[in-house]
């Protein structure tokens, strides 16, 4: 552990990077694993480490050294320590966690491989809010679904806000990316594709008897699922009060994962 007092210390430069600085668009599209991600707080850092993610650097509380610091160092991380104000300035976070750590982004399965092996799959189209993606991941993991596939316009499950909302459950739920969602769905002829929609003509989700192999598909809160995706799926709706048109994407995912998870 190295104590650092200067927030401008060059050894801390990666902690000052934004999401794009940690992982470029090309990095995020690389199934082999490229770039870095930032984990905030004891729980998320512990879960990343337990999942086998390789740590790069950690910034910890010099006054109350967290127990995970020794494990990070043993796993090969450079461990730096500083007071609250210094760490707040470096990370730009309003809340000073006792530990934040940078990890190398791990490899992930190809979307076709994940679709072939997961009987209960969550598919996301156009959900570009990292908090929503984090909530969807946490709900899917907590309710026993086996993987999540995101289209190329959806937010990154390893983004800072996604991980914070998901509380590190992204490491327990395999995720994959696809650049052609309709092509992927076309290859899922062995399962039923349930698309969430507010369309009153869609089946009431409470009346659906889930197929043995299934996917639930969640779209953008603004525009919903694309016409191309809806044309390939079985539309289902969550009954709503007349004056409310829809739910938050993460809330809708929780209901769908519960209702269709039996």
pLDDT of the residue at 226: 95
> Looking at residue 223, what is its pLDDT?
86
Rg (alpha carbons) of the chain, rounded to whole number: 20
| Dist. CA 159–CA 163, nearest whole Å | 6
What angle do the packed helices 249-259 and 130-142 form, to 10 degrees?
Answer: 20
Residue 61: strand pairing partners: 82
For the chain, which residues score pLDDT lower than 70?
A: none
User: How much is the pLDDT for 93?
Assistant: 80
pLDDT tens-digit readout, 130-179:
999 999 999 999 999 999 999 999 999 999 999 999 998 999 999 999 99
Q: What is the pLDDT of residue 94?
A: 74
Exposure of 161 by Cβ count < 10 A (0-12 exposed, 13-18 middle, 19+ buried)? middle
The predicted pLDDT at position 132 comes to: 97
Domains and CATH numbers, the chain: 2-104 (3.30.1330.30), 111-259 (3.40.1280.10)
Residue 137 pLDDT: 98
């Amino acid at each position: 552990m190295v104590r650092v007092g200067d927030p401008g210390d060059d050894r801390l430069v990666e902690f000052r990077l934004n999401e794009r600085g940690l992982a470029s668009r090309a990095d995020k599209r690389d199934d082999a694993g490229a770039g870095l991600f930032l984990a905030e707080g004891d729980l998320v850092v512990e879960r990343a480490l337990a999942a086998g993610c390789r740590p790069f650097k950690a910034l910890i509380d010099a006054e109350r050294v967290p127990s995970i610091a020794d494990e990070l160092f043993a796993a090969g991380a450079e461990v730096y320590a500083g007071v609250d104000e210094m760490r707040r300035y470096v990370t730009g976070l309003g809340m000073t966690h006792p530990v934040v750590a940078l990890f190398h982004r791990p490899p992930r399965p190809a979307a076709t491989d994940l679709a072939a092996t997961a009987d209960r799959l969550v598919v996301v189209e156009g959900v570009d809010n990292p908090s929503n993606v984090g909530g969807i991941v946490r709900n899917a993991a907590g309710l026993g679904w086996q993987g999540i596939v995101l289209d190329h316009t959806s937010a990154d499950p390893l983004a800072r806000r996604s991980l914070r909302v998901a509380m590190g459950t992204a490491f327990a739920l395999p995720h994959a990316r696809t650049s052609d969602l309709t092509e992927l769905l076309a290859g899922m002829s062995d399962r039923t594709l349930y698309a969430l929609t507010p369309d009153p003509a869609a089946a009431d989700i409470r009346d659906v008897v889930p197929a043995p192999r299934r996917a639930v598909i969640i779209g953008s809160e603004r525009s919903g699922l694309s016409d191309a995706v809806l044309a390939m799926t079985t539309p289902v709706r969550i009954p709503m009060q007349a004056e409310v048109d829809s739910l938050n994407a993460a809330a809708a995912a929780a209901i769908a994962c519960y209702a269709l998870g039996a």
